[in-house]
Structure 1
């Protein structure tokens, strides 16, 4: 199965271009800088792909473009994540030049015997059994100017996407879930942190979630369970590392929480491959 997934990622990476992302790809091509282009990708991805969510973070001299699957009930997340990562690499080559390559690539899935397709496409070391799917590259790349960018066309495309973001089917709790899905494994993600990201007061966040029939703690627990299930089923990441990634001080606390969510221990869940009893 994993070899089939590797072939899928390779094929998508070979044939998809930045324009495969339609409005988002065009917005990226007409952004002033690579950083602005990736911000546009992150902000608008849900308009065209509800299955995947992305986040861009900077740590010192390193930039991290992280992807996560937003439909946790789907099995085999690598079938979604790996092609998305391959397309992202191609998009960055469109913006930075055909010789661009990441520093390394992180994948939240078990290693496979045939890694050559990954090396051939990404042109960088690939590390499996990671807590997130991430393209790692120099933060300086974010300051690169995008050649041929048209500010007027960018404004028009952004206006189109803004209208689509607020269209039918939009629910505020989904924004919170998407933010948490890519940030829980690297940040504390308190409600105040998420409110700050959304440029609103903590009480406003709580009120809007209450109006939608839910609360921040419930969404956080739900997202922690989703991430834990994925890591247990699709990677060999040790329980202690999963616990730490999800913000637990020790594995025992994570085990108790996971038992509340699922009725089973993480060890039993991993042994059963996530099958329901």
Structure 2
């Protein structure tokens, strides 16, 4: 599920582009009156709306246009928690820790990259069809959040995108002029480590605590399923080659035996969840078309491309290369 607040700016944007909202919502199962800050829609429907918006407006930069209109208010209570944090680093850490309350189809995470930090985003919902536009949305939103939280004192140093480079790169100048790297293993914005110490203008311990209290009910609801929490963690742990049961348990603050028992109570094993997340990631990256099969195998923490090809064949019945060709990826498939 996805908090619909992230689409609140879409009706006005479509109106400016001369496209009725109902046309874009057609076939998604989402009604116009559901685009409210307090409602949630299926994550697959969220992606379908973005794709429909691009197709009906003819704007391949629709994700950037929408993302650039977002503000931290679109995050609801989580946005208020971030605004009143003491530093940018604390705000981004809380974004990653609590984002599951806003979406259970994709995850926000922080990863160390040399001396910098990547605020990353990855999809793990097995029901979705990859969309290049959501990657544009999230990096535009990431850039806006960093600038808004610090009133422009800190700006991202780079933008990474898992999507292939489009023909027209000019719209990406709207992100702020930083380097944009396409065809990456994941999407995100790179923030210099020095910027994380930036004191936030709206930092306030009392208001921060009040915002955390306001956020608690949504967070408790989203964290009810242990299997859901594990999926959420695995999406980024796989990128760091630390996706064992012990690693996931440490991130969730429980003993591995306790995690195994709780997953058994929900009728699933850790390895089944790991396979599910890997399969979702593989299909996303194969559809986007920017990475070779060998690079995808490395991204998914396989020891070799052949191990990944074997696993993908077990999941889908065909090889990754054949699956990519069958699903008509948006860019020509790279060779292995």
| Aligned with residue 255 of structure 1, among 309, 323, 333 | 309
TM-superposed deviation, 1:6: 4.3
Q: How does 1:8-27 map to 2 (within 5 A)?
A: 8-27=62-81
Unaligned segments of structure 2, at least 5 residues: 1-50, 330-336
Alignment partner of 2:253: what SS? Answer: coil
Alignment partner of 1:167: what SS? Answer: helix
Q: Which residue of 1 aligns with 2:210?
A: 156
Q: Which residue of 2 aligns with 1:132?
A: 186
CA distance in 1 between partners of 2:251 and 2:223 (Å): 22
Matched, 1:97 2:168: no
TM-superposed deviation, 1:14: 2.9
Q: How does 1:82-231 map to 2 (within 5 A)?
A: 82-98=136-152, 100-167=154-221, 170-231=224-285
TM-superposed deviation, 1:99: 5.7
Q: How does 1:13-52 map to 2 (within 5 A)?
A: 13-52=67-106
Decide whether the 8 Å contact of 2:126 with 2:279 is kept in 1: no
Q: Which residue of 1 aligns with 2:318?
A: 264
Query: CA, structure 1 residues 62+192, in 2 after alignment: closer, same or farther (shift >3 Å)?
Result: same
Decide whether the 8 Å contact of 1:23 with 1:157 is kept in 2: yes
| Aligned with residue 65 of structure 1, among 115, 119, 135 | 119
Alignment partner of 1:66: what SS? Answer: strand
TM-superposed deviation, 1:183: 2.5
Q: Which runs of 4+ in 1 moved over 6 A?
A: none
Q: Which residue of 1 aligns with 2:11?
A: none
Query: CA, structure 1 residues 103+5, in 2 after alignment: closer, same or farther (shift >3 Å)?
Result: farther
Matched, 1:77 2:112: no
**Could you report, residue by residue, the CA deviation over 1:188-234 in whole angstroms, capped at 9, with x for unpaired residues?**
31110111111111101101111111010000011111111111111
Decide whether the 8 Å contact of 2:138 with 2:188 is kept in 1: no
CA distance in 2 between partners of 1:113 and 1:274 (Å): 18
Query: CA, structure 1 residues 68+223, in 2 after alignment: closer, same or farther (shift >3 Å)?
Result: same
Alignment partner of 1:67: what SS? Answer: strand
Backbone CA RMSD of aligned residues: 2.1
TM-superposed deviation, 1:97: 3.0
CA distance in 1 between partners of 2:68 and 2:275 (Å): 38
CA distance in 2 between partners of 1:264 and 1:133 (Å): 27
* TM-score of the two chains, using structure 2 as the length reference: 0.76
TM-superposed deviation, 1:73: 2.1
Decide whether the 8 Å contact of 1:119 with 1:125 is kept in 2: no
Unaligned segments of structure 1, at least 5 residues: none
CA distance in 1 between partners of 2:159 and 2:60 (Å): 14
**Could you report, residue by residue, the CA deviation over 1:34-59 in whole angstroms, capped at 9, with x for unpaired residues?**
11111221122222233431001224
* TM-score of the two chains, using structure 1 as the length reference: 0.92
Between 1:200-209 and 1:95-104, the stretch displaced more is 95-104
